[in-house]
Chain A
Amino acid sequence: MSRGGKTSLKTKVGGFVSEVKTHWKTPAEGNYVPYKEYKDVVIGVGANYTGTKTLEYIGFWSSCFLIMHHYKLPYLTFSVIGLLNMPLGYVSALIWWYVCDNLGFLPKKTERKVYLAYGLMMAFGIASIIFDFSKVFDQSGSFITILNSFEGMNATACFKTFGTHFLYTGWVGARNIFWRKKLIPKYGRYKYSLYCDVIPKCVMVILIGWLPVYNIGDVATRVWVANLLFATYNVFGFGNVLEQCTKLISPNLQERILVRSYPVKLSHIFNSILAIILPAIVGMLRHEWADINFYRFVIPITFCISAACTMYLSGRIKERIPQPPIEKKVQIKFWDGMLGVLKNKYLLINTVVGLIDSLGNGMLPFATILYFYTFRLSGLPYSLLVALISFAGTPPDLLSPYFLKRFSYKQIMIFYQLSRAIGNAIIAVAMWTLGDNLVLCGTICVVVLFFMEMTKTVPTTAGHDMNIRIGDYQMYLSGERLESFAGIFGWFTGPITSFVGLIIPIFLLKYGFNSNWEILFFDGSRSNIVVVPIIVDAIGFFLMTIPYLFWDYDNKKQNMVMEVLKRRAEVTEQKAKEEGVSVAGVYKG
């Protein structure tokens, strides 16, 4: 480098240091975020993100290590619980519509009505948990005998699980209204939840590890008690809200992009480090992932430290674009919104894709089986392999803009589905034919996983981009983006996916997989348990290419839609000006 070059670099660095020092506490003119807050974003968002990632080790699902090694709940029981909770899910959504659709915000009288509804749900839930309502029914009748025949359940457990969902729904609903009203004015729409949830969440994380309810002998009792414990744990959230907050950190668009590009990205490094350290610590425990000390000490300590750092810094990360709370947003009438989204052909195609995708529901996590039951990985080798595979998606991410320009969405998505189908087929063949040769079979699987991770990034980016375009198209169709109404499709698909999602668990039960994951150490069973669902999944991916053949929303159409939207904005703004009405959110093109 030339002398001039060195001087120039030195000057630039010096200038940057001086800029940071000058605007450490006070932002430069036109900016809103002092550099000190950048530092707070790095640590605060990092801690918050790490905390949320740590919580991913705790969950009421079969592949959670706590359930896998300690609770040992039957695999099909999760489907039974899903089935029991399904009708109430629709009822609770109806209440939420009642809140949103008719009112927009809650006047006193309605608020009381909603509280009453939630209160009654809680009362019924608590009563169901305390008393055994199943005894009201004829114990030799078909209703009770059907409930008794569910895997891992009996009539008593079914009623208590049903009651738990009532309690959960009522409790979450009532808390939601109460804390939003109390805390949103003070802390904003994102951060408020941290303030009301963090302490109970920490308590629950500790209790989950220390309450020895996993030792309850009777499986049906263990199921409903575990369901109650995890439902209580889920009442309190700890979302990645500080990162959400950075979306509103500055009204200056450039500054906002800067914050989200550097400090926020940098903050994720804490989790990346933890993702390597945590399994290494686990490797040092005597029983590794099966060691209860992981849930008694490692998880609570990690989470509580993350939570404390998050809370310490959350007050310093500010929302500078005020937004009304969700309740005060202008709402579209439910039926208009619903009929509006049903007209969107592309949402329908996505729904069909989702439906076909449900063929793979209920599959065991293949990577977990590969790492723990084929390779018997733990400690640092496990961390490194997981990190390597996760990294596979990063380089193609840099090439996303090229691929998005070069290929249409239809081509990218068809390639994506086919790559998954082929990848799964290769894994199935490898496991079927080389099952005994653990190293060769495992290596082929890892290479395929690496390839599949690599080919995932561009379609994911394309998908995000297309979702925005679908919103534009909805805006063209209905005059609104109707994003929240897109969930309506789930109402139709839910019943089908929940039924289709039973196929694989029932099949797995036939091949010996129930509540004891150690059957996967048995080579013959492992092949059957893994291979057949993978083949079903591969078929699903292949079929998923078909709906995309009908995808005809291209760049040209998008440009035309944007033209229409622009024109609408121009005309309405012009009219508003003529009428002397001020217009918010002027369209900038």
Chain B
Amino acid sequence: MSKKEKKQNKVNDLQDTVKLDIPEDEIWTYQVPGLAAPHINKPYKHYNLKKAVFVLVIIVAVSLSMFFSVLALQNDTFEYNETSSGIEFSKFSNTGYLYELDIDYVCDIEYIAGNNDPNTNFKVVKDTAKPITSVRQFTLNCDDKIRTINIGANVEFVDTKAFYSCWALQNIEVDENNPNYCDVDGVLYNKDKTEILCYPCDHDEYLRQKYGYEKELFTEEITPEYQKDIQTYVVPSTVKKIGEMCFNYANLRVIYLPEGLETIETLSIFKLHERKNEWETTPSLTNIYSYKSDAVSDTRFTDEKALGEVYNSLPEGLLYIGSDAMSYNQALSYVYIPDSVTHIGHHAFWDTVYKEGDELKGVSCINVSKKEDEFDSTVETGQEWCPKYDHLLFKKTVDVVYSAERETK
């Protein structure tokens, strides 16, 4: 049979009329060749047994599924991995009643029988023979209870994403004998303070308690004093690098960066925000300033005089701006890319501009120190590194002003 004929046969298959000679008394029992025999108006064999098997199978299936699902979903509070360099803290699942976390030795929870107060019916037991040496990425992920993390002396490595989106985290304390890390007033740094690693999401609450503010102030209520004490942060002059996701979601309006800073990593100053009212938040970061003094260690802003010469926007000497480094900071209004920058990651300033009526607000243009051709040839830029705004139902990139002079403060 030729190919064409085969095709034709196939097409005609459906139209083919099939004639079956089915006697009247076989209409309910006639079996089509290749198909199962009909079962109509006939009792099933072992009817009750089949019913029982069905019910049993369902009950067993549901029970097994529940059992294994619970096993899969049930989290140990502390999970660790043995690695070649020691014990890695890999996952923390809050019981719902833990507010402080020690990362020094392998821990476990022991419940106190008979105590029905969930806040006090357990104790954290430490195995001092097993020191923790590293903390894996996303060990804490979207925890909303932990307020303080204490890092022990033996911890050699903390991934920059280890404490991701810890909404209630106010401060990170590091044992002073730790040779690799330290903290400056609850903010995590490496030991020689050349890298700032984690500014806790709720650090403002810690500062409020420290400086005697009774409650969080909403946007309209914020006073200059409050902004200075709570919403301003001075990055020490030793710092060369702001780590990945370091300041994300922090409640800061002003950040002072040192002139020696070289790297602003991916998502490091991402989506800073404050409370507009009880129910809403709004972008908070209004200014980034740079300072020249090389002897600043106090992260609390007191006076600009202490910082030496202070100027607008990013510091001279900065080399690297990571992707999404300053995204979603719509309150920011001025950006100046200094001469030294050689890399700007994709979406570095994404969504920092918006339209209100016909007026552009936020970062309405990007000021670049270099000439256009020099910038194009010497700076590696990621896609969509400039912010965009709504324009005739589409998006338009803000202007890049080349050979710009830095705006005076």
Residue numbers of A with Cβ under 8 A of B are 72, 74, 76, 79-80, 83, 86-87, 90, 135, 138-141, 144-146, 148-151, 154-155, 212, 215, 217-220, 280, 283-284, 286, 292, 335-336, 338-340, 343, 345, 376, 378-381, 405-406, 408, 437-439, 473, 476-479, 491-492, 494-496, 498-499, 502, 506, 509-512, 514-516, 518-519, 521-523, 525, 552-561, 563-564, 567-568, 571-572
Contact = CB atoms under 8 A, between A and B. Distances in A.
B58 A492 contact: yes
B27 A564 contact: yes
A38 to B, nearest CB: 33
Given A83-B69, A212-B279, A340-B39, A406 B10 contact: yes
Interface stretch (B107-115, B227-235, B297-305, B368-376): B107-115
A150 B383 contact: no
Given A150-B74, A516-B165, A555-B13, A217 B34 contact: no
B97 to A, nearest CB: 8
B18 A496 contact: no
Interface in B24-50: 24, 27-28, 30, 32-36, 38-41, 44, 47, 50
A379 B393 contact: yes
B356 to A, nearest CB: 8
Interface of B: 7, 10-11, 13-14, 16-20, 22, 24, 27-28, 30, 32-36, 38-41, 44, 47, 50-51, 54, 57-58, 61-62, 64-66, 68-70, 72-77, 91, 93, 95-97, 109, 111-118, 121-122, 137-138, 141-142, 144, 161, 164-165, 244-245, 266-267, 270-271, 278-280, 323-324, 327, 330, 346-347, 350, 354, 356, 382-384, 390, 393-395
Nearest to A290: B328
A573 to B, nearest CB: 12
A515 B142 contact: yes
A104 to B, nearest CB: 19
3 closest residue pairs by CB, A with B: A495-B65, A140-B111, A479-B40
Given A140-B112, A514-B141, A516-B165, 9 more contacts: A151-B93, A283-B393, A406-B11, A437-B383, A476-B35, A476-B38, A495-B61, A499-B65, A567-B27
26 contacts: A83-B66, A83-B69, A140-B112, A144-B118, A146-B70, A148-B95, A150-B74, A155-B118, A219-B142, A286-B330, A345-B36, A379-B395, A380-B393, A381-B395, A477-B39, A502-B69, A510-B138, A521-B323, A554-B13, A559-B18, A560-B33, A561-B35, A563-B22, A564-B22, A564-B38, A567-B30
A411 to B, nearest CB: 10
Nearest to B161: A512
Contacts of A340: 39
Given A406-B7, A496-B65, A564-B27, A343 B95 contact: no
B11 A405 contact: yes
Given A380-B393, A492-B57, A512-B164, A140 B62 contact: no
B74 A146 contact: yes
B393 A280 contact: yes
B61 A492 contact: yes
Contact of B39 (A74, A478, A510, A523): A478
A488 B395 CA distance: 51
Contact of A509 (B28, B76, B141, B390): B141
A335 B116 contact: no
A339 B50 contact: yes
A100 B265 CA distance: 63
Nearest to A292: B280
Nearest to A492: B61
A154 B95 CA distance: 8
Most buried by A among B51, B66, B327: B66
Given A340-B39, A492-B57, A380 B394 contact: yes
Contacts of A561: 32, 35
A55 B122 CA distance: 45
Nearest to A509: B141
Contacts of B141: 509, 512, 514
Contact of A499 (B68, B278, B354, B395): B68
Contact of A563 (B20, B62, B72): B20
Given A477-B38, A478-B40, A491-B58, A521 B137 contact: no
B20 A560 contact: yes
A439 B347 CA distance: 12
B145 to A, nearest CB: 8
Contacts of A567: 20, 22, 27, 30
